[in-house]
Amino acid sequence: MDNKKIDFVFGIHCHQPVGNFSHVFEDCYRKSYLPFIEMVRKHPGIRISFHYCGILLKWFGENHPEFLRMLKEMVDSGQAEAIGGGIYEPILPSIPEEDQAAQIRLMSSLLREKLGCSPKGAWLAERVWEPHLPRALRAAGIDFTLVDDHHFRLAGLNDRDIHGYFTTEEEGMPLSIFPINEKLRYLVPFKGIDQVLEFFEQTLRQDLRQDLRHGSQSEENGDPRLITLVDDGEKFGVWPGTHKWVYEEGWLVKFLQLLDENPWIRTLTLSEAMRKHLSRGMIYLPPGSYKEMLEWSKGFWRNFLVKYPESNNLHKKMLFVSAKVRELKDLPGNAAFRQARDELLQGQCNDPYWHGIFGGLYLNYLRGACYSHLIHAEAIADKELRGGREDWVSVEETDLNKDGKPEVILSNSALSAVISPFSGGQMFELDYKAGPYFNFTDTMTRRFEEYHAKIRESARGGREGGVKSIHEMFKLKTEGLEELLKYDLYRRVSLIDHFLREGMDIPAFRDSPPVTGFIFSPYAYRIKKDRNGAGVEMSREEGGISVEKTVMLGKQGSALSAGYIISNRAREEKHFIFGVEFNLTLLAGNDPKRYFEIPGAALEDSSLASTGETAGAGEVRLIDGWQGLCLSLSFREKPVVWRFPIYTVTQSESGIEQTYQGSTILPHWKISIPPGGKWENEIILEIKKL
Active site residues: 126, 232
Report d(CA 512, CA 500) in Å as an integer.
11
Please choose, from the candidates 427, 311, 328, the residue with its C-alpha nearest in 3D space to the C-alpha of residue 380: 328
Report d(CA 57, CA 23) in Å as an integer.
16
Residue 444 DSSP code: -
Q: Could you give the strand order of the β-sheet that contains 559-568, starting from the edge strand earlier in sequence? A: 524-529, 533-542, 545-554, 559-568, 678-689, 629-635, 619-624, 594-597
For the stretch 384-400, what's the b/e string if a residue is b when 16 or more beta carbons lie within 10 angstroms of its beta carbon? beeeeeeeebebeeeeb
Yes or no: say if 551 and 407 are a contact pair by the CB < 8 Å rule: no
| 3 state DSSP class of 570 | coil
Q: Where are the alpha helices (DSSP H) in 221-363?
A: 242-243, 251-261, 270-276, 291-296, 304-307, 309-327, 335-346
Whether the ω angle into residue 189 lies within 30 degrees of 0, i.e. cis, is: yes
The residue type found at 166 is F
Based on the number of CB atoms within 10 Å of its own CB, is 261 exposed (0-12), middle (13-18) or buried (19 or more)?
Answer: exposed
**Phi and psi of 37, rounded to 5°?**
-65, -40
Yes or no: say if 433 and 448 are a contact pair by the CB < 8 Å rule: no
Report d(CA 490, CA 358) in Å as an integer.
24
Yes or no: say if 182 and 151 are a contact pair by the CB < 8 Å rule: no
Cα–Cα distances in angstroms (integers) from residue 71 to residues 36, 60, 270, 363, 466, in the given order? 11, 11, 16, 31, 44
What's the farthest any 2 CA atoms get from each other in the chain? 98
Cα–Cα distances in angstroms (integers) from residue 561 to residues 412, 536, 663, in the given order? 14, 11, 20
Residue 286 DSSP code: P
Yes or no: say if 525 and 452 are a contact pair by the CB < 8 Å rule: no
Residue 612 DSSP code: E
Contacts of 490 (CB under 8 A, 6+ apart): 445, 496, 513, 515, 519, 520
Yes or no: say if 206 and 161 are a contact pair by the CB < 8 Å rule: no
Reported residue count of the chain is 690
Contacts of 450 (CB under 8 A, 6+ apart): none
| 3 state DSSP class of 302 | helix
Please choose, from the candidates 662, 627, 668, the residue with its C-alpha nearest in 3D space to the C-alpha of residue 441: 662
Report d(CA 239, CA 441) in Å as an integer.
32
CA 211, distance to chain mean position in Å, is: 47
Q: Hey, which residues does 409 pair with through a beta bridge?
A: 396, 418
Q: Where are the alpha helices (DSSP H) in 164-278?
A: 182-187, 193-214, 242-243, 251-261, 270-276
